[in-house]
Amino acid sequence: MKTEIEALRDPAARLVILTGAGISAESGLSTFRGNGGLWDGWPVEEVATPEAFERDPALVWRFYGERRRTAMDAEPNEAHRAVAAAERTMGERFLLVTQNIDGLHEAAGSRRVLPIHGSLWTTRCTGCGRRRPDRELHATLPVCERCGALERPDIVWFGERLDPAHLERLQAFLLRADDDHVPSVFLAIGTSGVVQPAASFVRFARACGAAAWLNDLDGTAENAPLFEHVVPGPATRVVPALLAPVG
Ligand code: NAD
Ligand code: ZN
């Protein structure tokens, strides 16, 4: 395939990439929208909410233990690597925003990344807020060494707010491209455009003058009409081609 984002040939161009579960699908991690709202057989809205954790923390920890177990063996793919290569070429003209919690972008070498939905690899205290690196599966409920309160996965669940610092960085990045009158591109990869507010970032990007591109397996993402260019196909094939000018 020959499709590439030509605007990226401009040496002043800025690029924002937003990724979702689809970019990790070819690394063997399951998405959920395609499976009737199930994430590996689990009803997502029933395990990924603060209410679920209050009701049954052991069940929620079992679900995230299962996520850790599968993600632990997963490797970044060609699409993750192409995204990391674009960052190496573009430096501070590049920003990655990911809804994924699997850590595969970081494993591929991405550094300028905002993990807006949190991380599978840290755990947070519900009492004092302390975060710590954690790769365990937790057969018994983990408690904080410092204050003794129950610990939780460091995930932004349905119904919880994103870190305002992440949103500010994204907005400042797009506003600056607009102020400087340089070409800018917003590229969404493998996200169904259902989960807010990420599904609306494309609106803000376009209001800031960015050209909007979407790669999705079959082009059926719910917010596809908001994009000017929709390129269907598997991310490992499409993304390296789109990013060839900065690869
Ligand atoms: P989603 O499951 O709702 O949608 C996945 C999208 O990716 C679909 O539009 C599908 O067509 C597309 N897709 C599937 N395979 C693809 C491929 N090989 N190449 C390109 N596109 C492909 O995912 P979402 O929009 O990210 O929303 C899901 C939420 O669930 C997010 O909040 C995320 O935190 C979480 N989640 C994360 C992971 C992960 O970290 N790997 C996995 C599942 C869900
Ligand atoms: Zn604590």
Query: What is the spatial distance between Cα 202 and Cα 97, in angstroms, rounded to a whole number?
Result: 12
Ligand 2 centroid – CA 154 distance (Å): 13
The phi, psi pair for 168, rounded to 5°, reads -65, -40
∠ CA(173), CA(112), CA(65), 5° rounding?
A: 125
Q: Which of 42, 78, 32, 77 is nearest to 63 (CA)?
A: 42
Q: State pLDDT tens for residues 108-124.
A: 999 999 999 999 999 99
DSSP assignments along 147-216, one per residue: T-PBEEEEE--TTPPPPHHHHHHHHHHHHHHHHHT--EEEEEES--S-STTGGGHHHHHHHTT-EEEEEE
Does 1 score more than 60 pLDDT?
no
Number of the ligand 1 atom closest to the C-alpha atom of 192: 9
Query: What is the spatial distance between Cα 186 and Cα 230, in angstroms, rounded to a whole number?
Result: 12
Q: Which of 103, 153, 97, 96 is nearest to 124 (CA)?
A: 153
> Which of 31, 38, 70, 162 for a ligand 1 pocket mutation test, highest count of atoms within 8 Å of Cβ?
31
Instruction: Please enumerate in sequence order all residues whose Cβ is within 8 A of that of 212, keeping only pairs 6 or more positions apart, or say none.
Output: 185, 186, 187, 188, 202, 205, 206, 226, 227, 228, 229
Ligand 2 centroid – CA 24 distance (Å): 32
Query: What is the spatial distance between Cα 91 and Cα 218, in angstroms, rounded to a whole number?
Result: 31
Those residues whose beta carbon sits under 5 angstroms from the ion ligand 2 are: 125, 127-128, 130, 144, 146-147, 149
Q: State pLDDT tens for residues 95-106.
A: 999 999 999 999
Chain centroid, CA 108 distance in Å: 14
Using CA positions, which residue lies closest to atom 8 of ligand 1? 192
From the list 80, 105, 117, 181, the catalytic residue is: 117
89: left (phi over 0), alpha (psi -120 to 50) or beta: alpha
pLDDT (0 to 100) of residue 40: 79
- The DSSP code for 12 is T
Is 117 assigned a catalytic role?
yes
Pocket, ligand 1, Cβ cutoff 6 A = 20-22, 24-26, 29, 31-34, 39, 99-102, 117, 190-192, 194-195, 215-218, 221, 234-235
- Would you say 120 and 64 are in contact if contact means Cβ atoms under 8 Å apart? yes
Ligand 2 centroid – CA 124 distance (Å): 8
Q: State pLDDT tens for residues 181-201.
A: 999 999 999 999 999 999 999
Least confident of 28-42, 165-179, 188-202: 28-42
- Would you say 156 and 116 are in contact if contact means Cβ atoms under 8 Å apart? yes
Burial of 185 (0-12, 13-18, 19+ CB in 10 A): buried
State the pLDDT confidence band at 2, using cuts at 50, 70 and 90. low
